[in-house]
Amino acid sequence: MIPFEKILSKAEEYKPKMSRFLRDMIALPSESCGEKEVIHRIKAEMEACGYDRVEIDPMGNVLGFIGNGKHLIALDAHIDTVGIGDRTLWTYDPYEGYEDDEIIVGRGASDQEGGMASMVYAGKIIKDLGLPGDFTLMVVGSVQEEDCDGLCWQYIINEDKYTPEFVVLTEPTSCNIYRGHRGRMEIKVSTRGLSCHGSAPERGDNAIYKMAPILQELRALHENLHFDPFLGKGSLTVSEVFFSSPSRCAVADGCTISVDRRLTHGETWEMALQQIRNLPAVKAAGAEVSMYSYDRPSWTGLVYPTECFFPTWVLDENHAACRSMVDGYRDLFKSEPLVDKWTFSTNGVSIMGRYGIPCVGFGPGHEDQAHAPDERTWKSELVKAAALYAVVPSIYTEKYVG
């Protein structure tokens, strides 16, 4: 029998320790590729909680293990953060943070170190109570997600050789259960021109002017992209503009834009590139349309290049991983969960999008806190998440796979 009341009681008991651990992580700046200190802080917490084994892989991800059963189940939290942006928009110091009886404020509180705090203590609850099931739990603190979501799991699957039966993603969901999200691409569109002195622009060919009608056609393309009943519409936005020119007193000989393309169910990366290549202004300008690649070194110095394509994924609501989450929610909290999807992207783009390993999401914190000033999470949600993470492996192995 699974002791649901004892699990809830333990999660509540560990609320002060989870809060302290989260504040410790927030206090260590950990933007992508600079996560070393927070990774070692997580490793120390896992060891203090009695994990059976803790390792840091060559990319710099921290992996903690509990049990030695045949069913490998993973919990994932990316522990890198974005920067703080305009410091004047913060009421509190983004790293010193703030805490009262209900909330914790600081960069990473919701996105996504709160999930990490709940995950580590879910492992301790499993150890404390000897929760049943033939499983091995792998608790992952992953790096570089904000820079290149899913790259960490490409490494874990391909190089570390760990293939879980399913992964619980602990990105913020307001303690709802999420089973998918749109994919995305980072696309580059470039025009070329001919520079000349700005006093006689007719002698040259202005690459910026060539880009102007492309921008208008991209805006129109956004309005007509495919719609999926669950994930919603595909989208695109122009996110960056660059130019090359000999000086401010010259005609620009190059112009490049970045396009953030969100792919809904039924869209492919090939389709997304071709839609832009087919635009009349792109053809008229002879513009080049391509996908960005990523090859930034991790905090350990490891380079693991990949294309900036992050596939769409959706888990069937009747899959055992999703049903285990729903069952655990009902048994713990005596209510029906909302089963929905994220607006933003997660490491699921690789885990399920590339490799077909089922993913399901549940996390403390709220999506609207991600990347925002005075980012916060709620202590009650840390407790709720820790309890559900602790119970799901037992439900899955006892009820669905035997």
Report, as residue numbers or ranges, the catalytic residues: 80, 145
In the 8-state DSSP scheme, what is residue 279? S
Q: Which of 92, 142, 149, 91 is nearest to 119 (CA)?
A: 142
Look up residue 64 and give its amino acid.
G
Q: How far apart are CA 30 and CA 107, in angstroms?
A: 9
Determine how β-strand 180-181 pairs with β-strand 103-105.
unpaired
Q: How far apart are CA 111 and CA 115, in angstroms?
A: 8
Per the structure block, which two tokens stand in for 402?
A: 């035997």
What DSSP string describes 137-192? EEEEEE-STTTSTTHHHHHHHHTS----SEEEE-S--TT-EE-EE-EEEEEEEEEE
Q: How far apart are CA 236 and CA 260, in angstroms?
A: 5
Distance of CA 381 to the CA centre of its chain: 19
Q: How far apart are CA 319 and CA 205, in angstroms?
A: 57
- Are 59 and 142 in contact, with CB atoms under 8 Å apart? no
Q: How far apart are CA 151 and CA 221, in angstroms?
A: 29
Three-state DSSP at 7 gives helix
Look up residue 297 and give its amino acid.
P
Q: At what angle do helices 4-13 and 114-129 cross, to 10 degrees?
A: 130
Question: What separation in angstroms does the CA of 128 have from each of 147, 156, 194, 291, 390?
Answer: 36, 28, 70, 48, 11
Q: Terminus-to-terminus CA distance in the chain, angstroms?
A: 14
Length of the chain counted residue by residue: 402
Per the structure block, which two tokens stand in for 297?
A: 């070194």
**Which sign, positive or negative, has the C-alpha torsion 338, 146, 298, 313?**
positive
